[in-house]
Amino acid sequence: MRIFHTSDWHVGRTFHGYSTLDATREVLGTIPAVVHDHDVDVVLVSGDIYDLANPSADAVAVLRDAVRAILDTGATVVMTSGNHDSAVRLGFAGAFSTGAGLHLLTDPARIHEPVELADAHGPVDVYALPYLQPELVRGHAWAPTGIRTQNEVVTAAMDHVRAEIVRRRTAGRRSVVLAHTFVAGGHAESSDSERAITREPLVAGGVDAVPLEAFAGVDYAALGHIHGRMALADHVRYSGAPVHYSFGEAGKPRGGWLVTLGADGLTDVGWVDLPVPRPLQQVTGPFADLLVDPSLDAYADHFVRAVYTDRTRQIEPMRKLRERFPWCAEVVWEPAERVTGTSASYTERVTGKTDPQVVASFLADVRAGEGPSAAEDAIIDAVIDEHAARDAR
Question: Is residue 370 scored above 80 in pLDDT?
Answer: no
Min mean pLDDT across 173-177, 254-258, 278-282, 349-353 is at 349-353
Exposed (0-12), middle (13-18) or buried (19+): which is 1, by Cβ within 10 Å? buried
Instruction: Quick: pLDDT tens for 136-149.
Output: 999 899 999 889 99
Q: What is the pLDDT of residue 203?
A: 45
Answer whether 51's CB lies under 8 Å from 241's CB: no
- For residue 384, what pLDDT band results from cuts at 50, 70 and 90? confident
- 280 versus 353: which is more confidently predicted? 280
Q: Tell me: the pLDDT tens digits for 41-85? A: 999 999 999 999 999 999 999 999 999 999 999 999 999 999 999
Lowest mean pLDDT among 28-32, 296-300, 384-388: 384-388
Counting residues of the chain whose pLDDT is more than 90, the rounded percentage is: 73
Half-sphere exposure of 102 (CA within 13 A, CB side): 21
Residue whose C-alpha is closest to residue 337's, from 306, 373, 375, 364? 364
Please tell me which residue, 377 or 180, carries the higher pLDDT value. Answer: 180
pLDDT class of 206 with cuts at 50, 70, 90: very low
- The whole-number average pLDDT for the span 86-113 is 93
pLDDT bin (cut points 50, 70, 90) of residue 387 is confident
3-class SS at 220? strand
Average pLDDT over residues 250-255: 93
State residue 371's pLDDT score. 81
CA–CA dist 156, 14 (Å, integer): 35
- Are 158 and 149 in contact by the 8 Å Cβ rule? The answer is no
- Kindly report, residue by residue over 193-204, the tens digit of the pLDDT: 667 665 554 443
* Lowest model confidence (mean pLDDT) among 207-221, 232-246, 247-261, 348-362: 348-362
Would you say residue 389 has pLDDT above 90? no
Q: Which helix (H) or strand (E) holds 139?
A: none
| pLDDT mean over 300-319 | 94
